[in-house]
């Protein structure tokens, strides 16, 4: 009887966590904007190679534009620190749907984080 109660409690907690994650990734709207949050595979590429990353991202879509902000950690090796901007020739592809950003700005910090934004 006690084993059954423990198993039911673990299942209830697991289902609750699953519902919380699902709710966090569900688009919401308010004030005319749709907001979507997700953790997505990403990466950075330069002349030395490709660096896979995992990004916590927020996408905000309103009637005028779509903007994504991202905060990433590299999965293995970390590229050299850099400041990237559309004006310096850097680009960004959406991790949500692969679209090329019309404008972007991001930095790779000495501690190995990649943080920035992109508009479409």
Whole-number percent of the chain with pLDDT over 70: 74
Q: How many domains does the chain have?
A: 1
CA-angle at 13, arms to 7 and 16, nearest 5° = 140
How high is the pLDDT of residue 27? Answer: 58
Give domain status of residue 7, yes or no.
no
Closest CA to 66 of 21, 96, 30: 96
Give domain status of residue 3, yes or no.
no
Give domain status of residue 21, yes or no.
no
How many whole angstroms separate alpha carbon 110 and alpha carbon 90?
19
How high is the pLDDT of residue 32? Answer: 87
Closest CA to 45 of 83, 7, 92, 8: 92
pLDDT digits (tens, 9 = 90+) for 47-82: 999 999 999 999 999 999 999 999 999 999 999 999
**With bands split at pLDDT 50, 70 and 90, how would you rate the model's confidence at 26?**
low
Give domain status of residue 9, yes or no.
no
**With bands split at pLDDT 50, 70 and 90, how would you rate the model's confidence at 87?**
very high
Give domain status of residue 107, yes or no.
yes
Give domain status of residue 82, yes or no.
yes
Q: Which domain holds residue 48?
A: 27-119
**8 A C-beta contact, residue 44 and residue 108:** yes
**8 A C-beta contact, residue 32 and residue 63:** yes
């Amino acid at each position: 009887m006690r084993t059954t109660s423990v198993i039911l409690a673990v299942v209830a907690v697991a289902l609750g966590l699953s519902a919380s994650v699902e709710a966090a990734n569900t688009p919401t709207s308010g004030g005319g904007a749709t907001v979507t949050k997700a953790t997505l595979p990403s990466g950075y590429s330069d002349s030395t190679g490709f660096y896979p990353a995992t990004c916590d991202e927020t996408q905000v879509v309103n009637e005028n534009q779509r903007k994504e902000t991202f905060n990433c950690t590299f999965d293995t090796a970390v590229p050299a620190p850099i400041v990237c901007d559309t004006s310096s020739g850097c680009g960004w592809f959406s991790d949500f749907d692969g679209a090329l950003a019309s404008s972007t700005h991001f930095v790779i910090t000495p501690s190995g984080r990649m943080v920035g934004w992109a508009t479409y």
